[in-house]
Amino acid sequence: MKKKVVFGLGAVFLLLVGCQSRESFQAEVQQFIEGYTKQYQQLYYAASKAEWKSNTRIVEGDSTNAIATRQANEALAAFTGSAKNIATIQAYLKKENRLTALQVKQLKKMLYLAANNPQTVPELVKERIKAETEQNEKLFGFDFKVDGRSVTTNEIDEALRTETDLKERLKVWKASKEVGTVLKDGLVNLQQLRNQTVQALGYPDYFTYQVSDYGMSTEEMLELNHRLVREIWPLYRELHTYARYELARRYGVAEVPDMLPAHWLPNRWGQDWSSLVQVEGMNLDAILRQKSAEWIVRQGERFYKSLDFPPLPASFWELSSLYPLPKDAPYKKNNHASAWHLDLDKDVRCLMSVVPNTEWYETAHHELGHIYYFISYSNPDVPILLRDGANRAFHEAMGSLMGLAAMQKPFLAGLDLLPANRQTDPMQLLLKEALNYIVFIPWSAGVMTDFEYELYARNLPAAEFNRTWWELKQKYQGIVAPEPRGENYCDAATKTHINNDAAQYYDYALSYVLLFQFHDHIAREILHQDPHATNYYGQAAVGEFVRELMYPGATVDWRKLLKDTIGQELSARPMLNYFQPLLEYLKKANQGRTYTLPETI
């Protein structure tokens, strides 16, 4: 019945606008857009501030922040998904050929927002918001314990990077997965609620809804991600073989396993193996431990300022949550690094738990990449509704680009973090980078993307969550659980994004492809340097190029922006070229070893 009312309103509306001149029609639409935008920004800011509190001050047994967050999100949802707004937007878009391109983009963004919160099903939307808030609280308020002692996620990660006793490693790894047991029921609930919400506005499932933001179908997105895995597979297969033998030697295991036991790896999900290699002469941890956590973040700002970006606003330093909480703090916080654009204008913040080590040094540069993207497109030429990346992967690519740049040897030498004449093995450096960037592709484009496709597009039964998760882990990563993991566990839910950034993890895979395209262009066309050894620091021309990518936000088509700036379409070729020397090196290193992954996938 409600659908008929919406279409009826649209039909009447079209009769009214049909006689208008193009100019008066555009003026009317512009007035609607401006009124919508003003209210949207106010509600978005209120919801963002509530979310910020819920992520930075989690008190066990205190639901004050959760209730405030739910109410703020419900108010935003009621507005963006209102039946009246949907009817008006749809009616205007029936005449999109009479509107400006910028107006059409804004109207389509409104309709996309509405699909996540359609007030044709208001109780369903409220239920989903409540469920998401509760899931976040369970995730970030969880008390991780090893041998009965509470530990932080920073401590878990450090143990997995450095511990060599396999029994101890297993205890730590298993402790990192316990949070999944309390999140499974919530994920089952969210699976249904997210699907049902977007189905109310015509999307078949939540995965398809999220993919549509790229202007692509689910099939196109899956094929793109699977192609990326196929393209890097020969190198990943070499890395997998190398890691099996090297780790067996490190842990004193005589029989090399066919698949990598998950607790052998230096990351909770096996998404980054780079700490397996310590490049002689490149031990940044020893140097960075002499610095303060604040120095890490301030140095990130100095880098961007050297590219002619402005200083971070004073409010960034006043309002961000940058460092770990004191051990005696009476509350917890989300320890996952993130950048926030709370009002879609000047209020930018970071949520981190920075300690002075290599991982946080790179992460700080990455997160500030997001912050400077926010700052760059918060300009008069970009409407509030289009203050976003050219696509979601662009945002991650900007952050990762600066993280890569900040880790290259000439850059580090320029900051006196390494002596300029320090001798290092370039192949070991390349190996360490591949254990980050190449290893990440089967995880992101394979495991995470396929699992969430199964979860939402194919309504994966709850009784098959863990089995499917480990089947995908073995297929794409050659990683297996160290011991049987039944359906009482929910190891997928231990990954933050499964809970609160759902059906979007392919963003990260695509961002790595973009990262190497951008880096290759900067190295070859702007700096005229070897892509393996660049120094962006102080190069105004690099800043100018990066701003060209950032400034228009989502006002332009991302495919056209790529062609206009680097003259290419999305391609993994620069990434493959970057690591080509390593492929030959690993083939020699792996001679005589048994390969257990198939030659193709």
DSSP letters for 389-453: -SSHHHHHHHHHHHHHHTTSHHHHHHTTSS-TT----HHHHHHHHHHHHHHHHIIIIIIIHHHHI
Q: Give Cβ neighbours of residue 583 (< 8 Å, ≥ 6 apart).
A: 234, 235, 238
Q: How many residues does the chain have?
A: 601
Q: Give Cβ neighbours of residue 588 (< 8 Å, ≥ 6 apart).
A: none
Of the candidates 443, 476, 432, which has an alpha carbon nearest to the alpha carbon of residue 579?
432
For residue 584, give both structure tokens: 């030959």
Rounded Cα distance between 596 and 240, Å, is: 9
Rounded Cα distance between 277 and 392, Å, is: 31
Rounded Cα distance between 327 and 116, Å, is: 39
C-alpha distance from residue 266 to each of 75, 342, 447, 540, 550 (Å): 42, 34, 18, 37, 34
Q: What is the pLDDT of residue 101?
A: 96
Q: Give Cβ neighbours of residue 497 (< 8 Å, ≥ 6 apart).
A: 448, 504, 505
For residue 49, give both structure tokens: 């501030």
User: For the chain, which ranges sit under pLDDT 70?
Assistant: 1-19
Q: What is the pLDDT of residue 19?
A: 59
Structural domains in the chain?
A: 1-138 (no CATH), 221-589 (1.10.1370.30)
| CB atoms inside a 10 Å sphere around CB 549 | 22
What is the four-CA torsion angle of 413, 511, 132, 140, rounded to 10 degrees?
Answer: -20
Q: What is the enclosing helix (H) or strand (E) of 480?
A: strand 479-480
Q: Give Cβ neighbours of residue 48 (< 8 Å, ≥ 6 apart).
A: 340, 341, 342, 343
Range 505-529 burial, b when 16+ CB lie within 10 A, else e: bbbbbbbbbbbbbbbbbbbeeebeb
Q: What is the pLDDT of residue 18?
A: 53
**pLDDT tens per residue across span 381-397:** 999 999 999 999 999 99
Of the candidates 35, 22, 114, which has an alpha carbon nearest to the alpha carbon of residue 77?
114
**Tokens 């262009």 belong to residue:** 521
- Angle of the 506-521 helix axis to the 558-566 helix axis, nearest 10: 20
Exposure of 458 in the CB half-sphere (CA atoms within 13 A): 13
Of the candidates 106, 154, 139, 124, which has an alpha carbon nearest to the alpha carbon of residue 2?
124
| Beta pairing partners, 339 | 350
Say if strands 338-341 and 149-150 run parallel, antiparallel, or are unpaired.
unpaired
171 within 8 A of 146, measured Cβ to Cβ: yes
Q: Where are the alpha helices (DSSP H) in 142-252?
A: 153-162, 166-177, 179-199, 206-211, 218-250
Rounded Cα distance between 542 and 536, Å, is: 7
Rounded Cα distance between 301 and 403, Å, is: 13
C-alpha distance from residue 541 to each of 102, 304, 505, 544 (Å): 29, 12, 32, 5
Burial (CB < 10 A; 0-12, 13-18, 19+), residue 24, is exposed
41 within 8 A of 343, measured Cβ to Cβ: yes
CA 578 to chain centre: 23
Q: What is the pLDDT of residue 61?
A: 85
φ, ψ of residue 152 to 5 degrees: the values are -90, 165
